[in-house]
Amino acid sequence: MTGPQATLPPAGLPGLDPALSRLVSVDGVLADAGESRLWHVLDTGDALHDRGIEPTGTIVAVHGNPTWSYLWRALVNASLARAEAGAAAWRVVAVDQLEMGFSERSPLRRTLGQRIADLGALVEALGVRGPIVTIGHDWGGPVSLGWAVENRDRLAAVIALNTAVHHPEGAKLPFALRVATARGMLAAGTTGTTAFLDTTLALADLDPAVRAAFRAPYATLARRRGIGGFVADIPATPDHESTPALHRMSAGLRELSVPALLLRGPKDPVFGEDHLDDLIDRMPHADVHRFEGAGHLIAEERPYAEVVLDWLDENVVDAGAPAPGTRRAATAQRRAAATAAAEGPAPERTGAPGTESDGTAADGRLWDALDARRDDEDTAVIDMTTSREGEPLRVSWRQLATRVDEIAAGLDAFGVRAGDRVSLLVPPGPTLTAALYACLRIGAVVVVADRGLGIRGLSRAVRGAVPDVVIGEVAGLAAARALGWPGRRISAAALPATASRALGVEASLSDLARAGRGRALPEPPAAEAEAAVLFTSGSTGPAKGVVYTHAQLTALRDTLAAHFGVTADSGLVTGFAPFALLGPALGTRSATPDMDVSAPRTLTAAAVAAAVRASDARIVFLSPAAVANVVATAGALSDADRAALARVETFLSTGAPVGVELLRRAQRLMPNAVAHTPYGMTECLLVADVTLPEIERAAGDRGVCVGRPLGTGQVRVSAIDADGRATGEPTTDAGVTGEIVISAPHLKRGYFRLHLTDREARRGLPERWHRTGDVGHLDTDGLLWVEGRLPHVITTAEGPVTPVGIEQDVETVDAVSRAAAVGVGPVGGQVVVAVVEAGARRPGLASPALTDAVRAATAQRLAAVLVVPSLPTDIRHNSKIDRTRVAAWADRVLAGEKPGAP
């Protein structure tokens, strides 16, 4: 008995050209042998032929359950449009799998192996020749990748959107699939009703017409039988009929060497980060991008089609459609050519032994100084939050080195291996220091994302990093349990058995240290191996994981030591989390003040003085928000506190712009210190540096002066055009305003699973260069001035305008404490609006007198002046104004809406 036959989709479906639909008769294979089946496909082959365009190759697109070829309409349309414009022409064949979409329904129960064979028969029937790229989504992933594994000689690349290729034995299915496959629910939820279809389509915010188009092939029970059949074919157990085919395919992926692209929507309730992790393990050469905020139906939520076609241009077309196994060499050759052709020399060595300029090789390791002082009884780390008999806890170099070795060996015994990711949810201090260096010593990759991101941002970061192990204090472990973070659990301190069971803790660091005592350590990691994933502050969008190698962290240490003259006797007090762990690497004692490092404004002047006195430190490193509160609480200092601060020789503040007056007030507390404001970011923690005297001598230019590059780092500027885009050739010419681009030995390797972000960060640049997203200019003395962020450039009819200079002008008005300059209106025709903190109780228009004073303070024409009780800032730094949020608020106010708080 046969079911409904194949038909063409109805006319009028949004985004679908009926001329591209066709029905194809295909001889059945395997269990379907002897039958002829009718498939519906979207195929651009005839359209290309009619236009006289020869395709570069063919993209075979395979949908999952319960969608159909309509899922790929954006790829179909974009490929045709680009081909007509003269770009590489890809024929796209988007299939409706048998029993699905508008293809034929048959009585056969189709297994994974059958579907892979079905796809192969269709490809042959269509006469597809030349290189083939497969792309699959959901359960179309295993089908398309199964065909790819069996047809490597015809394969040019593979692409997968949210999917999975392996189900560990004994592991539960995702909750949504457990519900769908539950006894009594399968037929009712997938076939008897539209529940499964409705639930899937509800995973994205679809236009009603698009939702109706996805539902169109599944109007009757008979036409929905394939939905139930697909769910029933999920190989969740070892004895399932499709399990052998799944195992053959997943094992075969390890032998695929063609270019691979994995795109993921992290909000997917079906396919989790562990599925992506498994795919990457099988195809470690794959380019990966996670679209934050997207979910299961990523093709409906993000512009994936342009991403796919751009990626194919770069990795297949420009590489000459390399044969399997040649992709990496071809990519390396292209990048080497780009580097050689770039203007100017590549960065030189830092001068530190063993550190290479490209960050890919170095002889030294971050723990070299710790090893060198392992028999030293002098103090290495001071914990100002823990006291013994009224004195802060002191850890000697000998104690620290021993503890690091024991924990490292214990982690190895626990099963942690090189390349495993370990999330550290421990505040700065001796415990975190020992755990971090232990992880680095055995090649584990440390994941650092602090509480300053907020619970949602922290959870997104940790889950996205897919840690193998989480080491935390009780609060962090409780969050990990409640929020379902992956990874085995290790507690920082020993816990009662009941608490350990409740939190899922398998061991404490003390347990590991005991297990590691006397145990040999594994070989140290290679210099080019990944060492850390550090998450950005989240002040410019969702926090991004920044990947550093061991060589790059070593280069950072060497640059910091050389530039600031750090010696064993310097001593370091740091209330700035990114640098709180560098004391042992620098070979100098270190102390973190008594504070909440995730809330910089909790730091007081007395706490800084206590840490300086305890460590006899000559260097103090604080964040701008911390500096502001230190200055504000200076009245509580004792004579002994002031005497201790007078011994400080170097004071540094970085992480956000620091006003000159705030620097002056801080230096009055440390009168014998040279005040520095290094410029950097998570992607390159030290870029440039300037001292307070240099800033005062350079006064008069627009923006914030951040000085000259450190060490052998380099800085250039890519000019912005009328639309605010950085399109100019990077230059060192004075007076050019544009995006700041940088290079340094300690520049990050890349972003964690953010291929598109990586691509944009190096757009038009040679290897080891990075677009910062900051805008500014170089002056005639070679000093760098930062004028804001690229997304905050205001594109007026007279040309682009940067915000910081305007804000500096406005903040000279006595009544104004802080200001934000933002653009309102369309790109290219924006007007400038000043939004100020000026003691107002309610947001709205400024008074006529304040408006006149603000306008008189700046040469920039202002369309309006608005007041707010407080300007919104980022969570992490408590100092960077959220101009994007302010601009949206100003736009609403000027449009006549009631002015609530921005």
Question: How many domains does one find in the chain?
Answer: 3
> Quick one: 528 and 390 in the same domain?
yes
pLDDT score at 536? 84
pLDDT score at 453? 73
17: left (phi over 0), alpha (psi -120 to 50) or beta: beta
pLDDT score at 454? 73
> Quick one: 300 and 371 in the same domain?
no
Last residue of a domain, one of 257, 292, 317: 317
Q: Is the pLDDT confidence value at 838 over 60?
A: yes
> Quick one: 267 and 363 in the same domain?
no
Confidence of residue 880 (pLDDT cuts 50, 70, 90): confident
> Quick one: 270 and 386 in the same domain?
no
Last residue of a domain, one of 551, 568, 602: 551
Residue 618: which residues within 8 A CB-CB, separation 6 or more? 569, 570, 571, 647, 648, 649, 650
> Quick one: 798 and 865 in the same domain?
yes
pLDDT score at 372? 95
Report, as an integer, the average pLDDT of 67-76: 98
pLDDT score at 323? 42
Rounded distance, CA 720 to CA 773, Å?
A: 11
Rounded distance, CA 824 to CA 833, Å?
A: 7
Alpha helix stretches (DSSP H) within 172-253: 175-181, 186-187, 195-201, 208-215, 225-232, 243-252
Confidence of residue 1 (pLDDT cuts 50, 70, 90): very low
Hey, is 676 helix, strand or coil? Answer: strand
Rounded distance, CA 110 to CA 859, Å?
A: 72
pLDDT in tens, 685-732: 999 999 999 999 997 788 999 999 999 999 999 999 999 999 999 999
Last residue of a domain, one of 317, 334, 368: 317
Which segments within 768-814 are labelled E, that is strand?
Answer: 770-778, 784-789, 794-796, 799-801
Tokens at 410, concatenated:
């214990």
pLDDT score at 360? 35
> Quick one: 286 and 146 in the same domain?
yes
Please report which helix (H) or strand (E) contains residue 84, including its range.
helix 73-84
pLDDT in tens, 298-310: 999 999 999 999 9
206: amino acid identity, one letter: L
Residue 496: which residues within 8 A CB-CB, separation 6 or more? none
Contact predicate 724/800, CB 8 Å: yes
> Quick one: 262 and 391 in the same domain?
no
Contact predicate 330/171, CB 8 Å: no
Most confidently modeled of 501-515, 523-537, 575-589? 501-515
Report, as an integer, the average pLDDT of 756-771: 94
pLDDT score at 865? 97
Tokens at 179, concatenated:
């519900």
Report, as an integer, the average pLDDT of 631-649: 96
Give percent above pLDDT 90 in the chain: 77
pLDDT score at 543? 85
Q: Is the pLDDT confidence value at 172 over 70?
A: no
Q: Which value, in Å, is the radius of gyration of the alpha carbons in the chain?
A: 30
Report the CATH number at residue 366: 3.40.50.12780
Q: Is residue 150, in this structure, part of any structural domain at all?
A: yes
Report, as an integer, the average pLDDT of 204-225: 96
Residue 319: which residues within 8 A CB-CB, separation 6 or more? 259, 326, 327, 330, 331, 334
Mean pLDDT of the chain: 89
pLDDT score at 787? 96
Q: Is the pLDDT confidence value at 58 over 50?
A: yes
Q: Is the pLDDT confidence value at 361 over 50?
A: no
Lowest mean pLDDT, pick from 122-131, 338-347, 468-477, 745-754: 338-347
Give percent above pLDDT 70 in the chain: 90
pLDDT score at 189? 64
Question: In Å, how far from its chain's centre is CA 321?
Answer: 29
Hey, is 660 helix, strand or coil? Answer: helix
Report the CATH number at residue 154: 3.40.50.1820
> Quick one: 289 and 365 in the same domain?
no
Domain hosting residue 846, numbered range: 793-894
Rounded distance, CA 835 to CA 451, Å?
A: 30
> Quick one: 299 and 376 in the same domain?
no
Question: In Å, how far from its chain's centre is CA 397?
Answer: 35
Q: Is residue 847, in this structure, part of any structural domain at all?
A: yes
Q: Is the pLDDT confidence value at 577 over 60?
A: yes
Q: Is residue 384, in this structure, part of any structural domain at all?
A: yes
Confidence of residue 349 (pLDDT cuts 50, 70, 90): very low
Neighbours of 280 (CB within 10 A): 16
> Quick one: 311 and 441 in the same domain?
no
Contact predicate 401/370, CB 8 Å: yes
Q: Is residue 768, in this structure, part of any structural domain at all?
A: no
Confidence of residue 274 (pLDDT cuts 50, 70, 90): confident
pLDDT score at 2? 63
pLDDT score at 464? 86
Please report which helix (H) or strand (E) contains residue 687, including its range.
strand 684-689
pTM for the predicted model, two decimal places? 0.88
Hey, is 37 helix, strand or coil? Answer: strand
> Quick one: 67 and 151 in the same domain?
yes
pLDDT score at 354? 33
Lowest mean pLDDT, pick from 6-20, 518-532, 886-900: 886-900
> Quick one: 258 and 396 in the same domain?
no
Q: Is the pLDDT confidence value at 383 over 80?
A: yes
pLDDT score at 334? 36
Neighbours of 389 (CB within 10 A): 4
Q: Is the pLDDT confidence value at 26 over 90?
A: yes
Q: Is 240 exposed, middle or buried (0-12, 13-18, 19+ CB in 10 A)?
A: middle
Using omega within 30 degrees of 0 as the cis cutoff, is the peptide bond preceding 624 cis?
Answer: no
Q: Is residue 680, in this structure, part of any structural domain at all?
A: no
Only one residue has tokens 């000697």, namely 396
Report the CATH number at residue 885: 3.30.300.30
Rounded distance, CA 323 to CA 257, Å?
A: 9
Q: Is residue 644, in this structure, part of any structural domain at all?
A: no
Q: Is the pLDDT confidence value at 174 over 80?
A: no
pLDDT score at 187? 59
Residue 60: which residues within 8 A CB-CB, separation 6 or more? 93, 95, 119, 123, 128, 132, 133, 134, 135, 144, 147
Report, as an integer, the average pLDDT of 466-491: 92
pLDDT score at 875? 46
pLDDT in tens, 316-338: 998 765 443 333 333 433 333 33
Q: Is residue 72, in this structure, part of any structural domain at all?
A: yes
CA-wise closest residue to 624 among 662, 592, 591? 662
The two most distant CA atoms of the chain are separated, in Å, by 97
Q: Which strands, in side-by-side order, build the sheet including 57-62?
A: 21-27, 36-43, 90-95, 57-62, 132-136, 155-161, 260-264, 287-290
The values of phi and psi at residue 9, to 5°, are -65, 155
Q: Is residue 407, in this structure, part of any structural domain at all?
A: yes
Tokens at 894, concatenated:
């000027």
Provide the Cα torsion 803, 809, 811, 814; round to 10°. -160
Lowest mean pLDDT, pick from 43-52, 356-365, 528-537, 887-896: 356-365
